[in-house]
Amino acid sequence: MITLLIADDHPLYRDALKGALNLSFTDLNILETNDVNSTVSTLQENEVDLLLLDLHMPGSSDLFGFLHIQKQFSDLPIAVISGTEDASLISKIIALGAIGFIPKTASASSINEAISTMLEGDVWLPESVRLKIKDVDKNFSKLAEDVASLTPSQYKVLCYMKDGLLNKQIGYNLGIAEATVKAHVTVIFRKLGINNRTQGVLIATGLQLEPPVNEY
């Protein structure tokens, strides 16, 4: 029995994806989650063969959810599912080790082909994306690994720094004291090996980081 986890906060899409998979697979155990925290908990409690991860769900935005989960489950094959086919973003997730990318517009036959390919250990991309994949700067993976070491709170602070917010404004947005923000900034500098906010902004901008979607 193969265990597959669908992590997506849209129940209708999860149902559609399960329906597509059930057309071709009879030996799948399909688990479902709808945010980053429940995804991590489910992965801790189950032996999962493949994770299908939506980049935009509570607790995540763009790369953070992927990096956060990959950091904790380094041997887990992760495929990204998304409503956008941004070649730049797809290039980055593949460079970071994703085993595939499935657009939410993919047909049932394409989804089944993708799952079969990835379960065999091969990378799968739709034809519309393959020729658009670009080389990623060699420093990108190192920066992404450093960002993955941040806690969710530290990550949010870094994103707000990128947007030019002062510590007081960040504290207001996150509902924490300014002193706590300063403490987060100090740890961020240490983990990223930087000395000032400008360097942090450059890293966050280069990785196209955005604050995680709010939790339920």
| Angstrom distance (rounded) from CA 216 to CA 36 | 11
Q: How many secondary structure helices (H) and strands (E) does the chain include? A: 11, 5
Query: Over 60: is that where the pLDDT of 214 sits?
Result: no
Cα angle: 50, vertex 88, 35; to 5 degrees? 40
Give the model's pLDDT for residue 58: 78
Q: Sorting pLDDT into bands at 50, 70 and 90, what band is 89?
A: confident
Q: Which residue has the higher pLDDT, 8 or 146?
A: 8
- DSSP 8-state assignment for residue 9: S
pLDDT per position as a tens digit, 151-203? 888 988 998 998 889 999 999 999 999 999 999 999 999 999 999 999 998 88
Q: Which CATH class is domain 140-206?
A: mainly alpha
DSSP reduced 3-state for 51: strand
Residues for the chain: how many in total? 216
Contact at 8 Å (CB) between 124 and 100? yes
Please state the domain extents for the chain: 2-130, 140-206
Do domains 2-130 and 140-206 share one topology? The answer is no
Identify which of 146, 145, 106 has the alpha carbon closest to the alpha carbon of residue 126.
Answer: 106
The hierarchical CATH code for the domain 2-130 is 3.40.50.2300
Measured in whole angstroms, how far is the alpha carbon of residue 47 from the centre of its chain? 20
